[in-house]
Structure 1
């Protein structure tokens, strides 16, 4: 296996769950299954304008109380309908209540008709990037209780006029950014702790990764950071265990292991979040795939 881009992060395995209101019990079963089976992350789509979905933040809070060890995140939270200062306090509060198990996935916004219908501000893609930058600044400032004085930002899209700092989260919550276009990818490299896309939305799938990684890396270096400061995560919506290999994460366990290990060692993707909303698939992913991928990657890194 040829190593091209490995940022050396530990591997994370988790789920990307549809927060169906009609199937609320099944949603909870999926989260509890991930927790009991030893997965690292449970994440939920966030579309507040979607009436068939549970509210994601309410769901995160409920799941945090029903689980013990798994970490939780929106994937990704719709920033135009989640005021950043309030979101910062909510995330820090749930992080403290859950024993440090909250992560923060953020998106600049999509489905603008739905956002506007809910009273959100309609932004162009360029405006969304600038708004996200301001929001992340406010969020991190709210969490920073070591600095004296209130949070002040007179931004174009968000303002903070002396907001009190705190509470501090129980652990350093990473900000993972859902990004696809050039400016958002550059922003991810400049200020993000992680890049969180969905593989099916990348224009050329896995073949898109070298160019995207290069753009994130370049932006990170230009900002005085290391490319390794940005974890690379990935959602996989269409997954299936099947006897014959048909494609990415559609085949036998050995194929899954080879593909995910390759993503880590060749493209630096070290967090894998599977969709499908299936309990049996979740259990098998945890029991058979995750340990084997960890073994392969540890062996290859050791040889390197």
Structure 2
């Protein structure tokens, strides 16, 4: 059993379809009004069928009042880290502290390269992401005097000024699957943000993955609890009878999610499907019962 004791968060994983932009924004507004904690958006800047995710987050922040928003996850090769840090901090201040940061080393390299990004190997992606996390945190660190200097393999910053400071302590969540990236997550990140359907071996692999993250955290002088475990769940639906994980009646959803907390260490759940009725039911019927059940078990 692995439970890192984090508070539970519930939200959505939205497809930023350019064909129905108002529907996309309405999904964020629905989540905000329903009482969900997070709205996150896929980030594929090379995909012309999608809205630009950063522009969408900014617009959605202006249309909502309490829900937090994030990219899930931002494509680092097309989001220069110093600029991304300033954008996040700026919008966090404008939205009264409601912006989080999910980031990944990159995927779909043909599309990235076509848009002017640099194609990286898996090992290079790890190094680039580590450098980027350092730059982002340096930009936000206004308590340190002097400019920012990094002569990295992939990013160079020479005397850049610090700031603005975000309105709240913005966590950095990393989308990672392979061993070296998982070790980076444990050593440097504030959260692990995978999609269940992309985890090789599914839930059976999660204990081993948690162990790798925990070992890397300990080796870096951190606690395993410093790394929140988030989870995207794409194939979900409410059904009269049980069919699969998060495909069944409300009671099954509650049991499934409580098990993911208590047995696998996850504490943040982001559902796909882009269905406002499912999001509303998730907020009203599932989330409160999961919180209650987990509190009892803890």
Partner residue of 2:244? 247
- Shift in Å, 1:205: 1.3
- Shift in Å, 1:23: 1.1
Partner residue of 2:206? 209
Report the Cα distance in structure 1 between the residues aligned to 2:51 and 2:121, rounded to whole angstroms: 27
SS at match of 1:233: strand
- Shift in Å, 1:135: 0.3
SS at match of 1:121: coil
Give structure 1 stretches of 5+ with no counterpart.
none
TM alignment of 1:55-70, pairs within 5 A? 55-70=52-67
Cα RMSD of the aligned pairs, angstroms, is 0.4
The answer to whether residue 261 in structure 2 is matched with residue 264 in structure 1 is yes
Partner residue of 1:73? 70
The answer to whether residue 54 in structure 2 is matched with residue 54 in structure 1 is no
Partner residue of 1:165? 162
Aligned length: 298
- TM-score, normalization: structure 2? 1.00
SS at match of 1:10: coil
- Shift in Å, 1:41: 0.1
Q: Select which of 184, 188, 194 maps to 2:185.
A: 188
SS at match of 1:145: coil
SS at match of 1:267: coil
Q: Select which of 135, 140, 156 maps to 1:138.
A: 135
Report the Cα distance in structure 2 between the residues aligned to 1:204 and 1:246, rounded to whole angstroms: 20
- TM-score, normalization: structure 1? 0.98
- Shift in Å, 1:166: 0.2
Which has the higher mean CA deviation after the structures are superposed, 101-110 or 205-214?
Answer: 205-214
Give structure 2 stretches of 5+ with no counterpart.
none
Report the Cα distance in structure 2 between the residues aligned to 1:68 and 1:299, rounded to whole angstroms: 31
Report the Cα distance in structure 2 between the residues aligned to 1:206 and 1:64, rounded to whole angstroms: 33
